[in-house]
Amino acid sequence: MLVPEKELARIRAEIARDPEAEYEKIRRGDLLDLPRYQCLLDVTRDERMQWWREARFGIFMHFGIYSARGAGEWELASCAVEPDEYLRSAENFAYQSGAAREWARIAREAGAKYMVLTTRHHDGFSLWDSKINLYNSVNYGPHIDIVREYVEACRAEGLKIGLYSTLMDWHNPDFARSTVDPDARRRFLDYTYELNRELLTNYGKIDILWYDGIFLLDNSIGWDALRMNQRLRALQPHILLNDRAGLPEDFTTPEERVVPNKQDWESCMTFNQISWGYVDEKLERNYQYSPQQIVRMLFNCAAGGGNLLLNVGPDPTGKFPDSITEKLRSIGQWLRANGEAIYGIRRKYKRFADGAGFGEFGGGALTWVTAQGETVYLGVPFWPKDGSMVVAGYAEPPKRIRLLHNGEELSFRFDGRRIRIVDLPPESPEPILQIPVIVLEFDEIPAYRYAGACAALNNGNTVFSASK
């Protein structure tokens, strides 16, 4: 149903006067139609998203019975495991009470600002004391409400709380019939809503509900997402929902790649480029990203106005692999000294003619760039050996250039086209990951033109024109 923009503006203005009244309507059962629901989200988005847009970095965790089998979270389906055999594996799913506090401590020390835990993955096994789904970690395996330990750990460590909640469910027989039996689909949709209602009712303030597994019912109509999402939002109106139940909601979720978007976006990435669930550390270690590669992801996410959700698959006891803990610790050390270049950055990528993405500002040929107001941050992974570094494309020179991690001022010259930073030390000065951040401080947002002195890239001109 297409609604004229003028009418949408009227609806937004009406809702803005009292958004809570809309949630009250939903709680009474007077569900909003799609245009009104999206107007409600538009009017309340900036306040709801503020902490998330500052956060830039979260830790994802895939944890469940599959962690005890060590063959990835899709083994049950992809390897046709017998359900009884899979259930027997629950006995080896030996979460140790208190492990969640370690998760949260490691995440906080890594510089992450939120976590997202799989409360139930596609195998249908709930990690909480569900009265709706008795196939859970209190009745089987560790006999512990892991979600409760997790939310308490996040709060103790000052982290925002994300709960991953699958739509697709290989355990519940109604799901398998939901595309051919309308009664089975209705029962399954009600089951799915009730599980999410438990999570948003019994565990205090939750910050993110992270849907996944849209398969089979395929889209928001199939999943009746308009009904489910607004009812869940009415339980906790501040909550953030991702786009994986088929409606745009609060943020999009590119997976295993960093893809800037006009809407808020979050790239979810495995640590080992292979499995979300636990696999033997000795086998995956060679495929793990290095801390330097993860810092590069953080630069590209921040430059594009998005977040990085980096996954860890804990072992069956809930322990993070040592090699991952060590890498996360070094990333946290780097962020403590250089996080100003990442956290809260709001610049959006601008697309270059050939689609090559780069920020609204640039740096040396091999630098990563973020910017905020009159300040430009250049991550420098390859430190120049000749003691100098050129930064081109700026119409005016900065007032000051410094190293972010220690505040050391750097000398520079400007010839009208190039900023030449000089007297640089021979080795990279950043002690943790050898990724120093050079800060260019301008008096005002600088005029910038990528390769502004290259006639071939500027329709034959070599004059600067401020970036649009």
Judged by the rule CB under 6 A, the positions of this chain that interact with ligand FHN are 73-74, 212-213, 255, 268, 276
Half-sphere exposure of 163 (CA within 13 A, CB side): 30
| DSSP secondary structure code for residue 287 in this structure | G
How many angstroms separate the Cα of 32 from the Cα of each of 25, 36, 216, 242, 355?
8, 6, 26, 19, 39
For ligand FHN, the closer CB: 114 or 442: 114
How many angstroms separate the Cα of 36 from the Cα of each of 2, 8, 160, 219, 432?
12, 8, 28, 20, 50
Q: CB–CB of 382/366 below 8 Å?
A: yes
CB of 125 to ligand FHN, least distance (A): 13
Q: Closest by alpha carbon to 109, among 146, 51, 157, 63?
A: 157
Paired sense of beta strands 418-422 and 389-392, if any = antiparallel
Sequence-distant (6+) residues with CB within 8 A of 102 are 318, 319, 320
- Measure the CA–CA gap between 15 and 8, rounded to whole angstroms: 10
For ligand FHN, the closer CB: 73 or 243: 73
- Measure the CA–CA gap between 2 and 426, rounded to whole angstroms: 62
Residue whose pair of structure tokens reads 């962690």 in the numeric block: 67
Signed CA dihedral, 113, 136, 231, 35: sign only: positive
CB of 348 to ligand FHN, least distance (A): 24
| 3-state SS assignment for residue 57 | strand
Q: Closest by alpha carbon to 63, among 33, 95, 36?
A: 95
